[in-house]
Copies of this chain bind each other. A is one copy, B any other.
Amino acid sequence: MLLLVLDLLGIAVFAVSGALLAVRQRFDIVGVLVLATLTGLGGGWIRDVLIGVAPPTSLEDWRYLTVPVACGLVAFWFHPALERVDRPVIVFDAFGLGLFGVAGALKAAEHGAGPVAAAILGMVTCIGGGIIRDVLAGRAPVVLTTGELYAIPALAGSAVAAAGFEVGLPTVAVAIPAAALTIGWRLLAIWRGWKAPLPKSS
C-alpha cells in the first residue's frame, strides 16, 4: 500500500515535468496529456517491452493511467502556480528515482533477466520517460547532457537490488538499502553540487 502510494507519487512527479515542458513548448491539450503520460509511464513501458510483459502492467491499471492524466490536466490549467514549487519536487523526484530503479530492476529479474540486464533495466525505468519527453519536445535529453548525477545513482541502486535478488535475499531486505543508496546519493549530489564529468573540449 505504502509502495503503491510512493510509486504513484513518483509517476506524478515525472508526469508533471512532462506536462510543464509541453505547456512551455506550446503543445495543445492532447500533447500535454500525452507527454505527461509518456514521461510518467514510458520508462516502465520500455522495460516491460524489453522483458516481454505485454501489455505493459501500468497500461492495464486505471490507477496508473489516472495519475498522469490528472497531472496533465492540473498542469494545463495551473501551470504558473506549478512552476513555482521546484524545491519539494526535487526531493519527491529523488524518492521516485530510488523507487523506480529498484522496482524496475526487481521486476526485470523476476521475469528472467540476468543481474546485469536487470540493473540496466532498472535505470531504463528511471530515465526512459524523461528521454521520450525531451525527444518529443525537441530538446537534448536532460539526463544525458547536463552532468546532473541522476542516472548513475539510479543504476547503483538498481545494481544492488539486482545483485541481492541474484543471491536470493528477501525482497524487502534488498529493496530498502538499494533504494536508500539511490535516494541518498541523489540528494547528496543536489545538496553538494556534485556533477558527472563532461568531456574535455578538444
Interface membership of chain A positions 119-145, coded 1 if the CB is closer than 8 angstroms to chain B and 0 otherwise: 011000000000100011111110111
Rounded to whole angstroms, the CA-CA distance of A22 and B62 in the bound complex is 38
Interface check A86, CB cutoff 8 A:
no
Stretch among A31-39, A96-104, A163-171, A180-188 lining the B interface: A31-39
Q: 4 nearest interchain CB pairs?
A: A52-B54, A31-B144, A80-B202, A28-B147
Residues of A within 8 A of B (CB): 22-23, 25-32, 34-35, 45, 49-52, 54-56, 59-60, 62, 65, 76, 79-80, 83, 108, 112-114, 116-117, 120-121, 131, 135-141, 143-148, 150-152, 195-199, 202
Question: Could you write out 22 A-B pairs with CB less than 8 Å apart?
Answer: A27-B145, A28-B147, A29-B196, A30-B151, A30-B196, A31-B144, A34-B151, A49-B50, A50-B54, A50-B55, A52-B54, A55-B117, A55-B121, A59-B113, A59-B121, A60-B113, A60-B114, A60-B117, A79-B199, A79-B202, A80-B202, A138-B138
Other contacts beyond A28-B147, A65-B116, A65-B120: 13, CB < 8 A: A26-B198, A27-B140, A27-B198, A28-B145, A28-B146, A29-B147, A29-B199, A30-B150, A31-B143, A34-B144, A138-B138, A138-B139, A138-B140
